[in-house]
Amino acid sequence: MEQSKRRILIVGGVAGGASAAARARRLCERCEIIVYDRGPYVSFANCGLPYYVGDVIVEETKLLVATPELFKNRFNIDVHTETEVTGIDRSRQEIEVRNLKTGETRTERYDSLVLSTGAKAIRPPLPGIDSPGIFVLRTIPDSRKIRDAVQNATRAVVVGGGFVGLEMAENLRHRGLEVTLIEMADQVMPPLDPEMAVMVADRLEENGVRLRLGAGVQGFEENTDGSLKVKASSGEELDTDLVILAIGVTPETSLFESAGLTLGERGGVQVDEYMQTNDPNIWAVGDVVEIQDVVTKTRQLIPLAGPANRQGRVAAGAIIREAQGKEKRIQFRGVQATAVCGIFDLTAASTGASEKMLNRQGIDDYQAVYLHPGNHVGYYPGATSIHIKLLFSRSDGKILGAQAIGESGVTRRIDVIAMAIQMGGTVFDLEESELCYAPQFGAAKDPVNLAGMIAANHLRGDLPLADWKELGTNNVDLIDVRSPAEFERGHIPGAKNIPLETLRGRLSELSDNKDTWLVCGVGQRAYYATRALMQNDIAVKNLSGGMQTYQTFQKAGLLP
Ligand SMILES: Cc1cc2nc3c(=O)[nH]c(=O)nc-3n(C[C@H](O)[C@H](O)[C@H](O)COP(=O)(O)OP(=O)(O)OC[C@H]3O[C@@H](n4cnc5c(N)ncnc54)[C@H](O)[C@@H]3O)c2cc1C
């Protein structure tokens, strides 16, 4: 097919589809490019919708990143909104298109077809699920309906503690509603490990969000006054004026299924590294596809805007190069689920695998370290802590994942580690990273360096680490090296206080026939103590992250 005659049809005109369309035009001026979306808008900011409900974004038009007119005028791309693609005839290379305003249907021929149909919100078949007042949030019209409902509401129940659920809880509080969040798991924010997620839960509760964790919703009932009753598996019944269902999404694969395109184990569409399906003329991108996770090498569904945008770009590039008879060249590298969520001025971000994910995949070659450095040097006003968990391979130091929570500087650290993971980096690379420093921005040893140093010290044998989950299960001599005043304010049961400053003169007090574990406030003094004791031939281990980490493990119920 000559490049001038290539007809590229794109189904879905938001993150992945709009990206594919614009990139295709940049690479091929003479191609015919047409986008179809069954919704009234294309290229809108779905990530901004919770903030529109919360009145943080006040003008709806700000959510429109690009309009059909802009696509036409700037890119010469035809956009058909409120137009649903209802079928694909692969042998004739045609799609069936229905105009939702007129009901008229027609067929359109394609040379290349890109499907970016996204995902749909899960609506389980629970009793009362279709009652008025139960909303999902995927589109601008959805957000309008919720905004209208909020006008007459004083109470809301959010079902689901993932990103969208948390963002909605915050925004509904912002609108002055009483908010209860129900989550079936024992923690909020599934990508985080439980001892990290407790910090998010605390912040929600501090801001008036009532949490019901470990409780599923069993059904809904309409009250006589028009309000709703949410029935939880715990037996609790919650009266509310509106419900937001945010329990996840499932890939929108109906078109693929009816066309006989191959789906993967997780129910997403199978594509190769160029986003090509098992039909060489059909490409799929975004929430609808299963993609290899770069850390675990398993195929995952990762519904995030960044991968959708990059995949759209990759697919367009591959289509055009193939049409030109050239090697396809740019591949999608895989996903690592780098994500961030803001919760009442707290930022929680993660990249790569969590410990839960490693366990689920049967990967046991890993070690975790915890640290709580400042976002910038302590002497410059306004320093706040960043709570970091870094996971890496014990055998070669390869970085497997990281999670960070704090009020400032969190995304910068996770972004650096995300890049290191994509490059196949190790903790030795983090140790040696050269990062920005001036007092108001960081420290000469940045939190990323510190995480790498702790992990690298461990791998070199200079800092043996104890496993928090073994605390209390084995017979160790637990020494708390903080000051007596700090020890008095709270300590781990069974710990003995030998302040770092007196430790060198009290070596005889350490047990000869038990392992010695050291703990302090955040891990720093215990590290100094570890080095001193190791050089006195005493076998020691350090509880990384100190008492701050202890408290999160305890709150998460992970200690015996
Ligand atoms: C409330 C909310 C907040 C979010 N926040 C974030 C965030 O902060 N960060 C982040 O990374 N991600 C976020 N996401 C996820 C992100 O928006 C998605 O991962 C991304 O939009 C996926 O892009 P996509 O192109 O695959 O699908 P979508 O953007 O969902 O687009 C799919 C489009 O296809 C259309 N379509 C489907 N089937 C057909 C058909 N048969 N015919 C015609 N049109 C069809 C749909 O109408 C839809 O417009 C958020 C999502 C939501 C809903």
| Rounded distance from Cα 268 to ligand 1 centre (Å) | 14
What token pair was written down for 314? Answer: 């990759």
Q: What is the pTM of this model?
A: 0.95
pLDDT in the model for residue 11 = 98
Which positions of the chain have pLDDT values less than 50?
A: 1-3
* 47: annotated active-site residue: yes
- Rounded Cα–Cα distance for residues 206 and 193 (Å): 21
**Which helix or strand (DSSP H or E) is residue 282 part of?**
strand 282-284
Closest CA to 18 of 61, 64, 56: 64
The residue contributing the CA closest to ligand 1 atom 44 is 37
Buried b (16+ CB within 10 A) or exposed e, 531-545: ebbeeeebebbbbbb
The β-bridge partners of 283 are 114, 276
Ligand 1 pocket, residue 401 CB under 6 Å: no
Ligand 1 pocket, residue 545 CB under 6 Å: no
pLDDT in the model for residue 560 = 78
Atom of ligand 1 nearest to the CA of 308: 23
287, 313, 411, 414: residue to mutate for ligand 1 pocket, most atoms within 8 A of CB: 287
pLDDT in the model for residue 4 = 53
pLDDT in the model for residue 512 = 80
The residue contributing the CA closest to ligand 1 atom 27 is 118
| Rounded distance from Cα 15 to ligand 1 centre (Å) | 6
Q: Give backbone dihedrals phi and psi of 313, rounded to 5 degrees, phi first.
A: -65, -45
Q: Which pLDDT tens digit goes with each residue over 525-535?
A: 999 999 999 99
Three-state DSSP at 166 gives: helix
Q: What is the DSSP letter of 385?
A: B
What token pair was written down for 194? Answer: 């439980």
| Rounded distance from Cα 439 to ligand 1 centre (Å) | 40
Ligand 1 pocket, residue 34 CB under 6 Å: no
Catalytic, out of 28, 47, 436, 520: 47
Ligand 1 pocket, residue 15 CB under 6 Å: yes
Three-state DSSP at 226 gives: coil
Distances (CA, A) of 228 to 125, 143, 191, 215, 245: 17, 20, 31, 18, 13
Q: Which pLDDT tens digit goes with each residue over 472-518?
A: 888 899 999 999 999 999 999 999 999 999 999 999 999 888 889 99
36, 37, 82: residue to mutate for ligand 1 pocket, most atoms within 8 A of CB: 37
What token pair was written down for 456? Answer: 């690298």
| Rounded distance from Cα 164 to ligand 1 centre (Å) | 13
Under 8 Å between Cβ of 540 and 534: yes
DSSP assignment of 49-63? HHHHHTTSS--GGGG
38, 46, 135: residue to mutate for ligand 1 pocket, most atoms within 8 A of CB: 46
Query: What is the identity of the amino acid at 370?
Result: Y
Atom of ligand 1 nearest to the CA of 288: 26
pLDDT in the model for residue 1 = 47
Cβ atoms < 10 Å from Cβ of 394 = 13
pLDDT in the model for residue 265 = 93
Cβ atoms < 10 Å from Cβ of 267 = 13
Distances (CA, A) of 65 to 61, 68, 70, 342, 441: 9, 10, 10, 22, 31
Ligand 1 pocket, residue 36 CB under 6 Å: yes
pLDDT in the model for residue 328 = 83
